[in-house]
Structure 1
Amino acid sequence: MQWKAHGERQIYTNPWVNLCLVDVQQPDGRRWEYHVVRLRHLAVAAVVNDHREVLMMWRHRFITDAWAWELPMGLVEEGETPDQAASREVLEIGCGTGRTLAYLAQRGVNAKGVDLSPVMAANTTKR
């Protein structure tokens, strides 16, 4: 037998996460509100070169207070396919499209990007 959902209500939302209460009933008849965290869709890229090396980022995560290697990933924006989002995230590891650097610069951060591609470096300069 399966659990049955009788309804759902959102109790918190922001651009990254939604917290909901779902009215559920177990197969034995017990019923209560169950907390559910719903995340937006993510795109993850595994970029592997001819030497079977994988592109990864060394990042600090606030919640776990730990550094770890991660694959490039990010939210799929409205009107964007998962493939497009994954490509965008890979480009942004360097200076890429310049979106991240532009965001930081607009907030007064002395942001600099390094990219081997003259085209990507030029795109960043335009922003």
Structure 2
Amino acid sequence: MSDDVTLKQSSTVYSNPYLEVEDRTYSHDGREYRYVVARQPEFSVVGAVTKEGKILMMRQFRPGPGHFTHELPAGMVDPGDTPEETARKELLEETGYTGRIEAVTTAYVMAYSTAKRHIFLAHDCEKIAEPEEDPGVIGEPFLMDPQDFAGLLRSGDMLDLDAALILAARLGIPVF
């Protein structure tokens, strides 16, 4: 099989500030393949641990699932910002905490999206401010013990599961 894949056609079928949906046609080895692709921005997600060993989490309402979920602090990478700057900024804005940021990895979110998730760990976090009010967010930060974190990962009520599993592995928290 050759690696020669050519984009033949692309048209936008939907667009808003956070999502653009494209209908794409590719050719490969004499055949055409049609896909629907979500064009989405890159974002950073931060697994954060306090100096006391607590894990910093967010509880937020998410319209896709239609209920509150648990997740790590995260946000879109703004034009001109680096993923690390975004991680640091989102951690502070969403939780009021700051810490030593460590880049871990970058991964695509899924096969039919252009979004990349930059995963960071924040060590020795300390609260230095109150979380910022965001009129578009229904949620709050909270602290969690490592053993409760493992249970949350098994519960299926966790967004950014890949980043959370990396945090658990780095902290030596057995999950499964």
Question: What range is the shorter-chain TM-score in?
Answer: 0.5 to 0.7
How far does residue 41 in structure 1 lie from its aligned partner after superposition?
A: 0.6
Length, aligned pairs only: 101
Give the unaligned 5+ runs of structure 1.
105-127
Report the identity percentage.
27
Q: Is the 8 A contact 1:5 1:22 kept in 2?
A: no
Q: Which 5+ residue runs of structure 2 have no aligned equivalent?
A: 97-128, 136-176
Q: Is 2:22 the counterpart of 1:20? A: yes
Higher strand share: 2
Contact 2:6 2:28 in 1 (8 A): no
Return the index of the structure with the highest Cα Rg: 1
Give 1:94 deviation, angstroms. Answer: 4.1
3-state DSSP of counterpart to 2:91: helix
Give the match for residue 10 of structure 1: 12
Give the whole-Å Cα distance in 2 for the aligned partners of 1:18 and 1:85. Answer: 22
CA distance in 1, matches of 2:82, 2:130: 17
CA RMSD between the two structures: 2.5
Residue aligning to 2:109 = none
Task: State the match for 1:46 in structure 2.
Answer: 47
Q: What code does the residue aligned with 1:39 have?
A: Q
Could you state the TM-score of these two structures normalised by the residue count of structure 1? 0.64
Q: Which stretches of structure 1, 4 residues or longer, exceed 3 Å deviation after superposition?
A: 94-98
Deviation at 1:5, TM superposition (A): 3.1
Q: Aligned ranges for residues 1-127 of structure 1 at < 5 Å?
A: 1=1, 2=3, 4-7=5-8, 8-27=10-29, 29-94=30-95, 101=133, 104=135
Question: SS of 2:80's equivalent?
Answer: coil
Using structure 2 for the length normalisation, give the TM-score: 0.49
